[in-house]
Amino acid sequence: MNKLDTDFYAEATSRNIGLLQEHEQEILRKSTVAIVGMGAAGGHHLLTLARLGVGNFIIADPDEFDIVNLHRQAGAFCDTMGRNKAEVMAETVKRINPQANVRVYPVAVDSNNIDEFLQGADLVVDGIEFFEIDARRMVFDKAREKGLYAITAGPVGYGSSVQIFAPDGMSFDRYFGIKPGMTRAERLACFGVGLLPKIPKGRHMNASKVDFERQKGPALISAIMICSGIMVTEALRVLLKREGIRAIPHSYYFDPYGKSYTHGFARFGKNRLRDRLMRWMAFRIYPSLQRLHEAELNRTRAASSALPGLIPDSP
């Protein structure tokens, strides 16, 4: 790296110094963060980390920007409509830091490419949309297998939840109470309930606007920006190996609208009676979740009843 390059980075990140030390800033420059999903939370996570001075990224998203993304996604502009999200966001990072290295996957991360995707990563960040529960489980399981911290911070109402999974700590499925044989609707209920450390005092969200079948739900840009601020603060703690990392079974929820901060500690995961009650309530509050559950059960029953007919009679 020549002197001009060194001066650029040092000047661009100079206002961090005082809260960060020079050698810590250099650690961030050399760090690599893998982010799955470049939509609402993921895109803002990426740009906030880039402005912090993280120098290397691995990003993935198979989707393209659409008009519905304009109100909350960092890369959504009228001139990026129809373009791949990961490719747009890689360009945006380069506009912030031309020296940044960005490895782009304009495809879904799955079991076939997850190992390659995470190669060289120092930290995994969750930018997967809420409804893609099984993709999220796979990413967190693989991060754990590779000895990496993984952070999820997503909008819930007017605020943000945050959970940090340590590679030697509780697994994703165990914490959220996800068990074999559950339907996808049940897994989603486990995840949604597990994001909140405690039962909220009131509901601000119109349940009729949440559609689990069409994978749509309300989200505010204000909540998403809070997500990124919280997530990046925890990412800084992990990458710099600072003290104070409080991983799962600790969890947090920040609600500026309700003027509250909630900390939870679920020593044995989200498997208590209260958690099961909240999951049961979710099916009552969101009819589309119940319909998704019943549709899967019906498909399973139909497949089971058809199975004997697929086996030819013995001669």
In whole angstroms, what is the distance from residue 90 CA to residue 84 CA?
Answer: 10
In whole angstroms, what is the distance from residue 32 CA to residue 139 CA?
Answer: 16
Residues in the chain: 315
When computed from its CA atoms, the radius of gyration of the chain, rounded to whole angstroms, is 21
Sorted by sequence, the CB contacts under 8 Å of residue 250 that are 6+ apart come out as 164, 263, 264, 265
> Is residue 204 predicted with pLDDT exceeding 50?
yes
Q: What integer pLDDT is reported at residue 289 of this predicted model? A: 97
In whole angstroms, what is the distance from residue 24 CA to residue 42 CA?
Answer: 24
The encoded tokens of residue 10 equal 């040092």
In this prediction, residue 200 has a pLDDT band, given cuts at 50, 70 and 90, of low
In this prediction, residue 311 has a pLDDT band, given cuts at 50, 70 and 90, of very low
In whole angstroms, what is the distance from residue 282 CA to residue 30 CA?
Answer: 43
Bond prior to 312 in cis (omega within 30° of 0): no
> Is residue 41 predicted with pLDDT exceeding 80?
yes
The encoded tokens of residue 284 equal 């009552």
In whole angstroms, what is the distance from residue 221 CA to residue 159 CA?
Answer: 10
Q: What integer pLDDT is reported at residue 25 of this predicted model? A: 98
* Domains of the chain from N-terminus onward: 3-176+219-276 (3.40.50.720)
Mean pLDDT on 231-238: 97
> Is residue 315 predicted with pLDDT exceeding 70?
no
- Lowest-confidence segment of 92-96, 155-159, 181-185, 203-207 by average pLDDT: 203-207
Q: Quick count: other Cβ atoms within 10 Å of Cβ 32?
A: 18
> Is residue 199 predicted with pLDDT exceeding 90?
no
